[in-house]
Amino acid sequence: MKLVRGAWKLLVGIKDALVLVAMLLFFGLLFGLLAAKPNAGAIKDGALVLKLDGPIVEQPTPGDPFAALSGGGSTPEYRLRDIVRSLDKAAKDDRVKTVVLDLDSFAGGYPAALTEVGDALRRVRDTGKPVLAYATAYTDGGYRLAANASEIWMSPMGGTLFMGPGGSQLYYKGLIDKLGVNAHVYRVGKYKSFVEPYTRTEASPEAKEEVVKLYQVLFQQWQEVVAKARPKAKFMPFLTTPGAVITAAQGNIAEANLKAGIVDKLGTRLDFGKRVAQLAGAPTGKAPGTFNTIKLANYVAANPLPTAGAKIGVLTIAGDIIDGKSKAGSVGGDTVAKLVLDGLAKKDLKALVVRVDSPGGSALASEDMRRAIIEAKAQKLPIVVSMGNMAASGGYWVATAGDVIFAEPTTITGSIGIFGIIPTFENTLKKIGLTSDGVRTTPLSGQPDIYGGTTPETDTIFQAGIENGYRQFITRVANARKMSLERVNEIGQGRVWDGGTARQLGLVDRFGGLQDAIDEAAKRAGLKPADVHAEYLEKKPGAFAMMIQQVLSSGRDDDDASAGDAFTRMAANRRAVFARALGDVKRIGTGAAIQARCLECDGIGGTAPRPGDAKLLDLVLARFAL
Residues in the chain: 626
User: What 8-state DSSP symbol labels residue 193?
Assistant: G
Task: For residue 496, list its beta bridge partners.
Answer: 414
Would you give the distance in Å from CA 482 to the centre of its chain? 31
CA–CA dist 63, 68 (Å, integer): 7
What is the DSSP code (8-state) at residue 561?
A: P
Query: End-to-end distance of the chain based on CA atoms, in angstroms?
Result: 51
**CA 281 to centroid of chain Cα atoms:** 35
Instruction: Give the up-direction half-sphere exposure of residue 396: CA atoms within 13 A in the CB hemisphere.
Output: 38
Residue 312 forms beta bridges with which residues? 351, 534
CA distance 110 to 104: 18
What region does 304 belong to: left with phi over 0, alpha with psi -120 to 50, or beta?
Answer: beta
Beta-bridged to residue 390, according to DSSP, are 412
User: Has 393 been annotated as catalytic?
Assistant: yes
Name the DSSP letter for residue 345. Answer: H
Annotated catalytic residue within 193, 386, 393, 562: 393
Rounded distance between C-alpha atoms, residue 567 and residue 514, angstroms: 37
> Of the residues 192, 193, 295, 330, which is catalytic?
192
Identify the bridge partners of residue 48 per DSSP, sorted by sequence position: 99, 294
How far is the C-alpha of 556 from the C-alpha of 569, rounded, in Å?
A: 19
Q: Where are the beta strands (DSSP E) in 550-615?
A: 594-597
Residues 92, 94: Cα–Cα separation, whole Å? 6
CB atoms within 10 A of CB 542: 12
* Strand, coil or helix: 444: coil
Contact 412, 496 (CB under 8 A): yes
Identify whether the C-beta of residue 262 lies closer than 8 Å to the C-beta of residue 160. Answer: yes
Secondary structure of 213-272 in HEC code, one letter for each residue: HHHHHHHHHHHHHHHHHCCCCCCHHHHHCHHHHHHHCCCCHHHHHHHCCCCCEECCHHHH
Would you name the residues annotated as active-site residues? 192, 393
